[in-house]
Amino acid sequence: MCIPRPSFALGRRLESTALHFYQNRQLELYAARETKRLTLRQLVFFGRSMNEDRIVKSANYVRTELPVRIAHRLRDLQALPYIVVTQEGVAKVYELYWSAFEKFRRYPVVTTIAENEKFCQFVAQLLNEHATVIPNLYLGLSLSSPYLAPDQLDSFMRRMLISRISRRVLAEHHIALSEAYAGTRAQESHVGIISTALDVGGCIRRCIDLLKSRSLQDAKGWPQVVIDGHLTCRFPYIREHLEYIIFELLKNAMDATRHRHASSDSLPPINVTVAEGPDDVGIRVSDQGGGGLLNSSCAVKSPEDLFSFSHVRNATRLDDSRLVALRTVSSSQEGLRATVGEQVARWKQDGETDNVALQGSHPKIGIGLPMSNIFATYFGGSLELVSLDGWGTDVYLRVPKLGTNLEGIEV
C-alpha cells in the first residue's frame, strides 16, 4: 500500500507544531524555576568592588535570571483568554518576550571580560527593542478590559509591570557595573545604577525646574512649590525611579492648581514635605487644586481606582483620546522615555502637543500614576492619595530607606 507523503504545507505545519511543543517544554522548565529576588542592598554590596570574576558572575546571573523572569510572564500571558492575547499590543509583547526568552536561553556562558562586552551589547539591544512594551501592554489590556474581571486584569498588569522594572534594573545595573569597571562610565556616588546617597531635596528641585520649563499659553505662570522637612535626607536608591514618581505627582498638582484657579489672580502654593524616619523616607505633596478625585465627573470611585487598568474601576481607560495616544506611542520607535530628563528633552523638542503621546506621565495616556505606584512598590514602598474634595489633594509617598526589602515581584 502506498502511504501518501504529507504535503509540503502540512509538513511545515507539523514541523512548526513540533517546534512549538519543544519550545513550550523549555518554557515550562524555566517557568518552574523560582526567581532569585534581590534587595537594593545586595545590589549595592555586590557592585561595590568589582573585579573580573565578579563582572563575569554578574553577567551570568543576568543571563540565567532574565529568561526565568520572562518565562513566568510568558506563562501569565498564555493563561489569558485567547481574545486578550490576540489584541493589538498584547500580541506584540508576547512575541517580543518569546524572542527575548529564546535569545537569553541560548546565550553561551560568559567567561571573560571580552565576552562580557559582547553580552552587554546584546542586552543593550534588547533593552532598546523592548522600549515600547509598556504602551503596547496598556493599549492591549485597555482594549481587553471588557473581557477580564477587574481584579484579574489589575493583578496581571501589576505582575507584568513590576517584573519588567525588575528585569530592566538587573540588565541596566549590570551594564553600568561593566562600564564603570572598563572606565567608560563615571561612578561617582553610584554603584551601577544606584545612587549611594540620593539627595531627596535635589530630586524634588530638579523635577520642579523641569516642570516649570514647560511653555504656557497664559501669563499666570506656575504655582510656587514650597519644600520643607528633612531636606538633608540622603539614602541609597535608584534616582530615575524616585524622580519618575515625584515628577508625576508634582505635574498633577501643578496642573490641578492652574485648572482650579484659572480665573483668580494668583495661584496657591504646592507644599512638599520630606520626612526621614528610621526605616522610611516619606514625601507628601499637598495641592489646593480642588481634589475631586472621587466626584462624579472623574470616573473613579476610590483613589486606588486611579491605579486601575480596568474600565470598570476607571472609565477613562476606554476613552478614545487615550487609545489614540497609546497607539501613537506604541508604534513609535521610542516608546516611553526612561528618565524624566530624557522625557522632558523630548518634550521640548517635539513641542507641547506631541508630548501628549511621548511624555510617559501625560494624563491622556493615563500611565503616570499607575506606573508611579508600581515604581513605589517595587522595593516595598507605597503611594497613597487623599482627596479633600473642594480643596485639594494630598499624596503620600513612602520609600524604604535601608534597602533590605526584596524586589516586590511575584513568581
Residues engaged in binding ligand COI (CB under 6 A): 66, 100, 123, 126-127, 130, 133, 164, 167-168, 171
What is the SS3 assignment for 406? strand
Nearer to ligand COI, 69 or 362 (CB): 69
CB of 134 to ligand COI, least distance (A): 8
Residue tagged 563582572 (cell numbers): 55
User: Is beta strand 225-229 parallel, antiparallel or unpaired with respect to 190-191?
Assistant: unpaired
User: Is beta strand 270-276 parallel, antiparallel or unpaired with respect to 194-199?
Assistant: unpaired
Nearer to ligand COI, 127 or 298 (CB): 127
| Close Cβ partners of 87 (under 8 Å, ≥ 6 residues apart) | 139, 140, 141, 143, 144
CB of 101 to ligand COI, least distance (A): 9
- Cell numbers for 263, please give them: 480665573
Nearer to ligand COI, 67 or 223 (CB): 67
Nearer to ligand COI, 61 or 147 (CB): 61
Residue tagged 505545519 (cell numbers): 13
Nearer to ligand COI, 94 or 222 (CB): 94
Please give the Cα distance from 283 to 202 (Å, whole number): 13
Please give the Cα distance from 125 to 206 (Å, whole number): 29
Per the CB < 8 A criterion, the answer to whether 356 and 364 are in contact is yes
In single-letter form, the type of residue at position 386 comes to V
CB of 129 to ligand COI, least distance (A): 8
Nearer to ligand COI, 144 or 163 (CB): 163
CB of 70 to ligand COI, least distance (A): 6
CA geometry: angle at 146 spanning 69 and 73, to 5°?
5
| Close Cβ partners of 349 (under 8 Å, ≥ 6 residues apart) | none
Nearer to ligand COI, 129 or 199 (CB): 129
Please give the Cα distance from 258 to 224 (Å, whole number): 11
Nearer to ligand COI, 222 or 378 (CB): 378
Query: Of 282, 284, 262, whose CA–CA distance to 270 is shortest?
Result: 284
CB of 126 to ligand COI, least distance (A): 4
What is the SS3 assignment for 391? coil
Nearer to ligand COI, 166 or 271 (CB): 166
CB of 258 to ligand COI, least distance (A): 34
CB of 263 to ligand COI, least distance (A): 44
Torsion angle (degrees, nearest 10) of CA 172, 202, 381, 65: 10
CB of 331 to ligand COI, least distance (A): 17
CB of 60 to ligand COI, least distance (A): 15
Please give the Cα distance from 274 to 397 (Å, whole number): 10
CB of 240 to ligand COI, least distance (A): 14
Enclosing H/E stretch for 165: helix 150-182
In single-letter form, the type of residue at position 276 comes to E
Half-sphere exposure of 2 (CA within 13 A, CB side): 2
CA geometry: angle at 168 spanning 163 and 169, to 5°?
95
CB of 94 to ligand COI, least distance (A): 12
Q: How big is the chain by its Cα radius of gyration, in Å?
A: 23
Q: Which residue is nearest to ligand COI (CB)?
A: 130
Nearer to ligand COI, 105 or 130 (CB): 130
Half-sphere exposure of 107 (CA within 13 A, CB side): 26
Nearer to ligand COI, 121 or 213 (CB): 121
What is the SS3 assignment for 398? strand
